Amino acid sequence: MSYRIAYAPPADDALAKMRNPDAFRRAMADTVGRDPYGHGSTGVRGDRDRREATVLGAIVLYYVSGTVLTVTVVRLVPSL
C-alpha cells in the first residue's frame, strides 16, 4: 500500500527551489509514501499523525491521513 503525497504551498515553493526536485519526489514516494510512520520519522508534539522525517538531507514536516491514504507535506527545509 502506498500513500499519495501532496505538498502544501509553502512546501511546494521550497521543493521548486531544490537542486533536484524530481529525485526528492522519488525519495519521498519510496520512503514516506510507502511507510509514513517509519523511515526514522518521529511524532511531533504527541500527535501520531503529525510527523517529522529527514529525506535526502531535507527536514520534512507532514501530516498523515490514513482514511484517504494521503501524506501532506506542510513544511520542507532543504539541506544546504
**What's the number of domains the chain is made of?**
1
Relative to beta strand 47-55, strand 42-44 is antiparallel
CATH number (domain holding residue 66): 3.30.2310.20
| pLDDT for res 45 | 93
Q: The cell 494521503 sits on which residue? A: 70
Structural domain harbouring 42:
4-77
pLDDT of residue 80: 61
pLDDT in tens, the chain (80 residues): 899 999 999 999 999 999 999 999 999 999 999 999 999 999 999 999 999 999 999 999 999 998 999 999 999 998 76
Return the C-alpha torsion angle 22, 27, 28, 31, nearest 10: 170
Report d(CA 20, CA 57) in Å as an integer. Answer: 12
